[in-house]
Structure 1
Amino acid sequence: MDLALAQLEIEPGEIEANLARAAEAVAAAATEGADLVVLPEQFVVGFFAFDDYPTHAAGLDDPLFDRLAAMAADNDVGLVAGTTVEDLAASAAAGYDVPATEGYANTAVFFDRDGNQRGVYRKHHLFGYESAESELLVPGQQLPTVDFEGLTVGMTTCYDLRFPELYRRLVDKGVELIVVPSAWPYPRVEHWKTLGRARAIENLCYVATTNGSGTFPDAETTLCGRSTVYDPWGTTVGSVGDEPTRLTVSVDPQQVRDVRGSFPALDDRRD
């Protein structure tokens, strides 16, 4: 299966421009043969544009998600639509299972080739350090996996990388590829590279970390890019710099099974 990471330029608060870049990247990746495309965290509004979160929050039945579904269906690809700000009250009113009936969540949605919502992941670990994320958002509770093209795929988001127990739970669900939409800033580049690789090594699975690109002047923050795919040995399959670009690599579920069979470290786990 060919996996494409779309490292998008994200302009804070520029909704239509950000969506247009996402649509262009998905279409280009599909033309190049991608089966699954992953977008970055908060690619619609921009992670650090916290004042814009309430204005642009959307329930899972909102036209925004119809547009994202169309990106998948029109291009015949699976799509992990990075993350967006979800209006939990609106999703609850539409019948979705939500962690709270009010407030907002940092939510990733997996669309299949027909544009159907196959999995919804809400970021479990909200950034502390007096960050507005932990003040504005509700943490997720569910940990779905999606079977896609013969591969069991799990989703986590950015700061989740620092909490390895979440990834062990995904391993118990049979995950073979974990995608990690992110908005990881400078200067913590070494953390970004080390944590993604560590999660792949310890869980003997593919880990695909998809970051954004761009600067948030109000937050005095720049995203570090460097979207990367690690294989089950922790070897870098592909990586990019900090400019907007795409990374496409092949991932093979049989490699996960072979590695876990030849080096069955997971069998030695003790609670």
Structure 2
Amino acid sequence: MERLRVGLLQLEVIREDAARNARYVLGQIRDGARSGCDVLVLPELWNVAFPLPGPHVLIDEDSPLVGSIAEAACRNETWIIGGSMALSTAAGPRNRCLVFSPEGDIAFRYDKVHLYPGLDEPNILSPGVSPGSFDMGGLLCGVMICFDAEFPELATCLSSDGAKVLFVPAAWKAEYARLWRALLISRAIENQVFVVGVNRCDRGKNSSFGGQSLVVNPFGDLILHLDDTPRFERVTLDLSRVRAARSEHKVVSSRRPEIYRRWR
């Protein structure tokens, strides 16, 4: 695979009405999936208000909502990076990204490792313990959720596993938009990968999320940057740029992990 058609769904979550929000998001997913994308990407915790009001908002993985996303993936033969959802699991309450295959299966699960204290996540959710590396039809990819992007070690772990594209679903606060851009550009440059960040764009009394979803190439160039309104955009990634970046600027191949381990 040399080219990847990616659809970004920047959503304005309807916080006050979960049923209406579910209908809205599923409609956006179905429309986006029909656009001819290879993969569709959603933002973080799109199924709930955020900050989370409590554990009563958690849903199960076998819920009709999850089933509807799987059906959309299958009907349109597309991958869906399901952003993340607040889910009740056997391991506890999780901020979990579900990756749906074109066959309608859940191909991968990633639980957010770094829960954000600023929105009380650690008081309601349990952190994940495994990295988000997965195979998407022969293309190695990685997932980080929002606050995870603050930690370069996680992105380096994913790129060291072979990931060429990092997906970052987020509910990133509007007042920190400058950090959002800087961090995702940095993760792309450090690891010489594509970074696809998809943010919510809903506003409320206690928290507002600023949109500005973006795509960064392995050289650190912004190739897509949205505003703060609900949008769907499609972009094609030329995956040969990963190879070109790593050939021109030998950053990844110059790492010395065997030395770094001695310093711990």
TM-score by length of 2: 0.91
**Which residue among 12, 29, 32 is the counterpart of 1:29?**
32
The answer as to whether partners of 1:239 and 1:247 remain within 8 angstroms in 2 is: no
**2:247 is equivalent to residue 247 of structure 1:** no
Q: CA RMSD in A?
A: 1.5
C-alpha distance in 2 between matches for 1:183 and 1:16 = 20
Code of the aligned partner of 2:98: V
SS at match of 1:24: helix
For the structure 1 residues 206 and 80, does the alpha-carbon distance in structure 2 shift closer, same or farther, using more than 3 Å as the test?
A: same
C-alpha distance in 2 between matches for 1:258 and 1:128 = 39
For the structure 1 residues 58 and 23, does the alpha-carbon distance in structure 2 shift closer, same or farther, using more than 3 Å as the test?
A: same
Report sequence identity in percent.
30
More displaced stretch, 145-154 vs 165-174: 145-154
Q: How many residues are paired up?
A: 254
- 2:178 aligned residue: 190
- 1:170 aligned residue: 158
**2:86 is equivalent to residue 85 of structure 1:** yes
How far is the alpha carbon of 1:55 from its aligned partner? 2.1
**Which residue among 89, 92, 96 is the counterpart of 1:107?**
96
- 2:8 aligned residue: 5
More displaced stretch, 18-27 vs 136-145: 18-27
- 1:62 aligned residue: 63
SS at match of 2:59: coil
- 2:245 aligned residue: 259
**2:144 is equivalent to residue 156 of structure 1:** yes
- 2:219 aligned residue: 233
How far is the alpha carbon of 1:76 from its aligned partner? 1.8
**Which residue among 109, 123, 137 is the counterpart of 1:135?**
123
Q: Deviations over 1:138-185 (max 9, x none)?
A: 000111322224421111100111111001110111000011110011
Q: Deviations over 1:183-229 (max 9, x none)?
A: 01121110011001110010100001100111122x1x211100000
Code of the aligned partner of 1:242: D
Code of the aligned partner of 1:114: E
Unmatched segments (≥5 aa) in structure 2: none
- 1:216 aligned residue: 204
How far is the alpha carbon of 1:59 from its aligned partner? 2.9
More displaced stretch, 29-38 vs 75-84: 29-38
The answer as to whether partners of 2:246 and 2:253 remain within 8 angstroms in 1 is: no
The answer as to whether partners of 2:26 and 2:68 remain within 8 angstroms in 1 is: no
How far is the alpha carbon of 1:257 from its aligned partner? 2.0
Code of the aligned partner of 1:81: G
The answer as to whether partners of 2:132 and 2:144 remain within 8 angstroms in 1 is: no
**2:103 is equivalent to residue 117 of structure 1:** no
TM-score by length of 1: 0.89
How far is the alpha carbon of 1:86 from its aligned partner? 1.3
Code of the aligned partner of 1:112: S
**2:61 is equivalent to residue 75 of structure 1:** no
How far is the alpha carbon of 1:13 from its aligned partner? 4.3
C-alpha distance in 2 between matches for 1:144 and 1:185 = 23
The answer as to whether partners of 1:8 and 1:21 remain within 8 angstroms in 2 is: no
**2:19 is equivalent to residue 16 of structure 1:** yes
SS at match of 2:86: strand
